[in-house]
């Protein structure tokens, strides 16, 4: 095997020359690696570890969960490296040349998602308190390898990792994105693809906006017309679609395997035209509305003083809660412009109780702070700081998603192909250069559960279009959620981001090549 490799090199003069020039940049300085999010601490030791065809991944003990994490890494490394890395179990640390994943459970600072990665010229040793920490840590291993490791087909080595120790853990426990599958429907494969991308950047929540005026996207067995009729179209009049309960569960499982929680949202009492078009009795008039394919917001409302409305909501929440292992259910509550405030408040109070009765905690957009927040209700700050402040004053935690910094559907600038700009333009630097704990004096770090970057999809309907808006900004939001503020600076980040251009290309991500980033900076490994 080694011989064949040598022969190939000797024969290919051009390749040999390229190889020689690359060895000048051998990855021996771990502190210069372009990790995103940036780790809490990196100590470099100036040497390198070689992945070879003798390398295997050893996991400690026989636990199925660790074997699965090891296999995830092997499945990412094998197509491009062709090294045939296998996953094996062991009680003690393996011999030299291998990767070892183990749980220690004694390092309080690392928490549930932190990890310590020690690379020497002889071994790669990843330790965490919890499996989730190992999973986050293997993303660092992937990112320390050359970007071509992310290609789907076989690439040339060498496969070197710079040596040293990374100790790393997140600033915030909730680091998420949101996909609006109501304005335009995105199928299971697109959602799984996004989940993989979130996992690569150590994010841990995907919020799915499952219903809106233009479409109802989750099968509810007790109210079948929601999807049979309400799922039939989308913005622009396309065919829409919905997830069967089995498909939704498949998404949830796929996310769970990547230590990502799905937070499902049923938006109410506004943003409900798809439901109102599917069931006449949910309307105060008793007449079903027409399906809607435009982009307006704020014109629909459930009939808040009809009992059938609450029977409907209870059925929806019951079925959705049963399908959702995560602790949260999102009930929207935004832009209910045609619901009177005196109807909105008792409605939101009652629906919170229904969510709690089905064993879940409530998430809602910041308008919910106008109502009486139940214990554990989380307020998602998107538009009005004063609402989020009201939430804090009621003792609630806040999820930070300010449209002017964190909305993935805001255009980069006036030339952007897709997106909206009602909250302004969000170039890549503006999306990165802010601190969730420094937006409002009353909203301090201890009041904040984390950060979420939502993608509303009025203007995008395909994976490529969505990726243009999501990338590269998502990487910045991942870093804001993970890396301590004092370690972040745009000038340093933009260099690491440039190096992720190659990675995003290798992963076939259609990112927006912002002029603020020198994408020609090549990964030299």
Under the rule (CB under 6 A), what is the footprint of ligand TNX? Answer: 297, 334-335, 365, 382, 407, 409, 420, 456, 458
Q: Residue 82 — left, alpha, or beta (φ > 0 → left; ψ -120 to 50 → alpha)?
A: left
> Do the beta carbons of residue 377 and residue 396 sit within 8 Å?
yes
Closest CB to ligand TNX among 57 and 455?
455
Shortest distance in whole angstroms from residue 382 CB to ligand TNX: 5
Shortest distance in whole angstroms from residue 458 CB to ligand TNX: 6
Shortest distance in whole angstroms from residue 310 CB to ligand TNX: 23
Closest CB to ligand TNX among 133 and 333?
333
Shortest distance in whole angstroms from residue 411 CB to ligand TNX: 10
Q: What does the H/E/C string look like for 69-112?
A: HHHHHHHHHHHHHCCCCCEEEECCCCCCCCEEEEECCCCHHHCC
Closest CB to ligand TNX among 213 and 502?
213
Shortest distance in whole angstroms from residue 332 CB to ligand TNX: 7
For the chain, the 3-state helix, strand and coil shares in percent, each to the nearest 5, are 40, 20, 40
**Calpha distance 173→445 (Å, rounded):** 12
Closest CB to ligand TNX among 129 and 411?
411
CA distances from 192 to 74, 210, 252, 511, 524 (A): 19, 15, 10, 18, 30
Shortest distance in whole angstroms from residue 456 CB to ligand TNX: 3
Closest CB to ligand TNX among 72 and 186?
186
> Do the beta carbons of residue 205 and residue 176 sit within 8 Å?
yes
Coil, helix or strand for 176?
Answer: strand
A 10 A CB-CB count for 14 gives: 7
A 10 A CB-CB count for 261 gives: 18
Shortest distance in whole angstroms from residue 421 CB to ligand TNX: 9
**Calpha distance 67→428 (Å, rounded):** 38
Closest CB to ligand TNX among 334 and 479?
334
Residue 390: which H helix or E strand, with range? helix 385-393
**Calpha distance 48→141 (Å, rounded):** 13
Short-list 120, 118, 133, CA closest to 50: 120
**Calpha distance 205→314 (Å, rounded):** 25
Ranges of H-type helices in 108-244 = 131-144, 188-200, 225-228
Closest CB to ligand TNX among 179 and 220?
179
**Calpha distance 19→300 (Å, rounded):** 62
A 10 A CB-CB count for 217 gives: 28
Active site residues: 335
**Calpha distance 455→476 (Å, rounded):** 15
Closest CB to ligand TNX among 72 and 363?
363
């Amino acid at each position: 095997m080694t011989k064949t490799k040598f022969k190939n090199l000797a024969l290919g003069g051009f390749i040999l020359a390229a190889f020689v020039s690359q060895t000048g940049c051998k990855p021996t300085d771990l502190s210069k690696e372009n990790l995103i999010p940036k780790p809490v601490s990196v100590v470099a030791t100036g040497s390198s570890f070689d992945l070879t065809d003798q390398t295997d991944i050893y996991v400690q003990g026989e636990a199925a969960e660790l074997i699965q994490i090891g296999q995830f890494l092997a499945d990412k490394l094998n197509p491009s490296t062709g090294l045939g890395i296998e996953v094996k179990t062991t009680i003690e640390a393996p011999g030299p040349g291998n990767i070892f994943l183990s749980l220690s459970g004694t390092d309080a600072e690392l928490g549930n998602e932190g990890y310590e990665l020690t690379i020497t010229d002889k071994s790669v040793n990843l330790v965490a308190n919890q499996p989730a920490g190992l999973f986050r840590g293997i993303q660092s291993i992937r990112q320390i390898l050359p970007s071509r490791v992310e290609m789907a087909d076989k690439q040339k080595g060498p496969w070197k990792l710079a040596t040293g120790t990374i100790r790393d853990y997140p600033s915030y426990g909730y680091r998420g994105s949101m996909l609006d599958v109501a304005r335009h429907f995105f199928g299971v494969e697109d959602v799984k693809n996004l989940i993989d991308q979130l996992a690569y950047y150590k994010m841990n929540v995907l919020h799915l906006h499952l219903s809106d005026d233009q479409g109802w996207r989750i099968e509810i067995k007790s109210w079948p017309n929601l999807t049979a009729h309400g799922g039939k179209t989308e913005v622009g009049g396309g065919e829409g679609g919905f997830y069967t309960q089995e498909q939704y569960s498949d998404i949830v499982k796929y996310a769970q395997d990547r230590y990502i929680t799905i937070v499902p949202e049923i938006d109410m009492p506004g943003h409900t035209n798809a439901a109102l078009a599917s069931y006449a009795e949910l309307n105060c008039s008793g007449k079903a509305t027409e399906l809607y394919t435009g982009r307006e917001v704020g014109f629909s409302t459930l009939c808040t003083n009809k009992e059938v409305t609450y029977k409907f909501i209870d059925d929806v929440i019951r079925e959705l809660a049963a399908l959702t292992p995560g602790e949260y259910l999102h009930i929207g509550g935004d832009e209910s412009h045609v619901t009177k405030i005196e109807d909105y408040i008792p409605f939101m109070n009652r629906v919170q109780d229904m969510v709690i009765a089905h064993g879940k905690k409530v998430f809602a957009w910041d308008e919910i702070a106008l109502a009486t927040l139940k214990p554990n209700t989380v307020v998602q700050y998107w538009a009005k700081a004063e609402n989020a402040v009201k939430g804090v004053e009621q003792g609630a935690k806040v999820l930070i998603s300010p449209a002017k910094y964190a909305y993935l559907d805001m255009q980069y600038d006036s030339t952007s192909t897709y997106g909206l700009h009602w909250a302004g333009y969000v170039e890549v630097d503006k999306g990165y250069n802010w601190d969730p704990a420094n937006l409002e004096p009353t909203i301090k770090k201890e009041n904040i559960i984390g950060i979420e970057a939502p993608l509303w999809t009025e203007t995008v309907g395909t994976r490529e279009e969505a990726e243009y808006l999501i990338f590269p900004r998502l990487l910045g939001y991942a870093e804001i959620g993970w890396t301590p503020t004092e370690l972040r600076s745009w000038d340093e980040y933009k260099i690491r981001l440039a190096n992720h251009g190659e990675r995003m290309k290798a992963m076939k991500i259609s990112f927006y090549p912002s002029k603020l980033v020198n994408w020609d900076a090549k990964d030299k490994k």
